[in-house]
Amino acid sequence: MIARTLGLARQLAALRRGRAGARPLRLAYGRIFHEACAGSPVPTTRADFERLHALEGDALAAVTTLRGSELAGYLPAAELTGFVQAARLAGVDTVPLASAMAVPGGPLTAACFAWLLDGLLARLDAAGPVDGVYLALHGSMEVEGLDEAPEAVILRRVRERVGPAVAIAVSYDLHANLTAGLLDGVDVMIGYRTNPHWDLAPTGFRAGVRLIRVLRGELAPVHAWRKLPMVLGGGTTIDFLAPMRGVFRYLRQLETRPGVISASLFMVHPFTSAANLGWAVHVSTDGDPALAERLADELAERVWATKDVALPPMLAIDEALDQVRRSRRRTLGPVTLVDVDDIVGAGAPGGNTRFVQALVARGGDLAAYVPVHDPAAVAALWDAPIGSAHRVTLRGTPGYDQPPVELDATVAARHEGDFGRRVRLDVGTLRIAVGDQPPLPIHPKFWRELGLDPRKADLLVTKNFFHYRMFFLTTSFVHLPVESAGATSLRSLRDRRAAVPVHPSTPLADWRAHEPALRAAPRLEAPRATATARGRHAPAP
C-alpha cells in the first residue's frame, strides 16, 4: 500500500510539473546485457564488453539516434534507440548513462561486474535529477561468487540511488529467468516478443511509452507473474511457428484489452547454474490486481499446454553430413548445421573440434565452413605467411575436453575484429575459422572477412540457435540441429539439479503444485535466503 501511494504521488507530481511547465520530464537510460553459460570454462571479463559494445554519455547518445548504429554491424536500432525515439515523440528529455554488451559466455568475473555497475551508477549520479530510468537488461546474467541474480542487484542499487519518487522501467530478453528480484521496485517491465529477437527497438519503444504514461499520471501499474516448472517445451520456440505462434498472438491480443498495460513470456535460458530455472509469464494492468492475477493464470495455462511439443530430432554429425549430401536444396545455398551442444550465442566457448574431426575423416566431398575457438593455434599461426603450409593440432578451448585433431593445413587468410584474431585454415575443401575468442558467425560477414563467400559452401556450421536466421534468410534454406558434446547440451538438461521437479526431467500434469515453491526458491543450490517480493507486486494465489 505504501509503494502504491508513493507511485500515485510520483505520477501526480510529474503531471503537475508538465502542466506548470517548470521543466520537461528527464529520463535516463542505459544497458548492462549479458547471457551466461555455467558450463563454459572461459569467464567473461571487461575486455569482452570493450571488444563488442561499451559506450557512455555523448557517444551513447550519438548511436541512439535514427541516424546512428546502436549495435554496429548487427542492428542499427536496438532497445535504447527505441526508447529515445519514444521520448523524443513525447517531448521528453533523455540522459544517456552507459551501455555495455558482450557475446554470451561464462559467468562474469566479480571485477567485471563491479566495473559495469559502478560505471552505470557514476553516470547516474552525474546526471542530476531525473524523473525516470530505463534499463535494458538480459535476465540470465551470472557473476562469479554472487548468489543472486545480477539484474536484481543492478535494480536495487539504482533504486537506492534515485529514491522512491523516480519511476523505473526495465526490459528483458525473452530468455530471462524471471524472479521476484527482477521485478522488485520496477514500475514498467517489458519482454522481447520475437524469437529470433528482431524486436529490440520496438521493445525499448514500448517501455518508453509506458514509462512516460506512468510519469504523466495516466497509468498505475500492478504486476502479476507465474513461474512454470518447465525448462524445455514449445518445439523450436520460434515465435512465428507452431505452437508458439498462437501464444505470441495471444500476448499481443492481451495488450489490446482495456486495463492491460503489458503481457510477457520468458522462455528461460537454461544453461546458468540457477536452481530456480523455469519459464515464466508476466501481466501488468492499470491498477487492477485481480485482472492481472486472472490473466497471468490464463497465460500460464496457454504456455503450459505447449510443454509436450518436442524439439526437432537431433542428428549425430555423420548423420548430418549424409543429409547434406542428399539435400536437393543444397543447390540453392548451403545447409546450416546448428552445433546445439556448443552454442556461443548461449554462452558456450565455441571450441568444439568434433566437426573438424568428422569432416577431415569423411567430408572430403563437401565444401564446409567451420568455426573453432583455439587460442593456442591462433597464437602459433598469427604471424605465419599467407599461403604457408603447416602441421597443426587443433585442441579447441582450453579446459573444454575436446579431441585433438591433426591437420595438414594452409594459412589462407587472417582477420582481427569484433571476434578477436582469426586465422583461416584450408584443408582440401574444408575451411576452418580458428579464433582466439569464441566465434559467433551469425552474419555472413564473419566468413567474408576471411575471404569466403557463404553461398559457395555446401554446409556452414553455426554456433547460434536462432539469430543467424535473420542474416542468412536469403542464403541458407535448410537447418539441421546436430549434437556433439559441449556446454549447451540440451540432453544434459534432463539431468540437472533443480529446486523443484520440472518438465521434462519429471512428468508433470499440472504447473500449480510446484509453482509457489519455484517462485520462492533461492537462485543457487546453497545461497543465502532471497528477499521476498515487495511493493506493487500482486501476491501469488
Whether the predicted pLDDT of 537 surpasses 50: no
Decide which of 185, 220, 255 is a domain's last residue: 220
Whether the predicted pLDDT of 533 surpasses 50: no
Q: Is the distance from CB of 458 to CB of 366 less than 8 angstroms?
A: yes
pLDDT of residue 525: 54
pLDDT of residue 15: 40
| 146 phi and psi angles, rounded to 5 deg | -100, 125
Same domain, residue pair 214 and 356: no
**Is 257 inside a domain boundary?**
no
pLDDT of residue 22: 52
Domain count, the chain: 2
Q: What is the mean pLDDT of the chain?
A: 92
The alpha carbon torsion through 64, 68, 71, 72 (nearest 10 deg) reads -160
Decide which of 220, 239, 257 is a domain's last residue: 220
**Is 115 inside a domain boundary?**
yes
pLDDT of residue 73: 83
Decide which of 220, 241, 276 is a domain's last residue: 220
pLDDT of residue 284: 98
pLDDT of residue 523: 80
Whether the predicted pLDDT of 224 surpasses 80: yes
Q: 426-461 pLDDT, tens per residue?
A: 999 999 999 999 999 999 999 999 999 999 999 999
What average pLDDT does this structure show over 257-285? 97
The residue whose grid cell reads 575457438 is 373
**Is 262 inside a domain boundary?**
no
The residue whose grid cell reads 534507440 is 81
**Is 124 inside a domain boundary?**
yes
**Amino acid letter for position 305:** A
pLDDT of residue 496: 81
pLDDT of residue 267: 98
What count of Cα atoms within 13 Å lies in the side-chain half-sphere of residue 347?
A: 27
Strands 368-373 and 26-33: unpaired
What average pLDDT does this structure show over 398-412? 97
Q: What range does the domain containing 48 cover?
A: 2-220
Higher pLDDT among residues 419 and 319, named by residue: 319
Q: 383-404 pLDDT, tens per residue?
A: 999 999 999 999 999 999 999 9
Q: 290-339 pLDDT, tens per residue?
A: 999 999 999 999 999 999 999 999 999 999 999 999 999 888 999 999 99
**Is 268 inside a domain boundary?**
no
Q: 164-204 pLDDT, tens per residue?
A: 999 999 999 999 999 999 999 999 999 999 999 999 999 99
Whether the predicted pLDDT of 511 surpasses 50: yes
Q: 62-114 pLDDT, tens per residue?
A: 999 999 999 998 889 999 999 999 999 999 999 999 999 999 999 999 999 99
**Is 339 inside a domain boundary?**
yes
537 has which bridge partners? Answer: 223
Helix ranges restricted to H, 127-254: 150-162, 200-215, 244-254
**Is 189 inside a domain boundary?**
yes
Q: 365-375 pLDDT, tens per residue?
A: 999 999 999 99
**Is 60 inside a domain boundary?**
yes
Long-range contacts of 69-78 (CB under 8 A, 24+ apart): 70/99, 71/101, 73/418, 73/443, 73/445, 74/442, 74/443, 75/200, 75/201, 77/200, 77/201, 78/136, 78/200, 78/201, 78/204
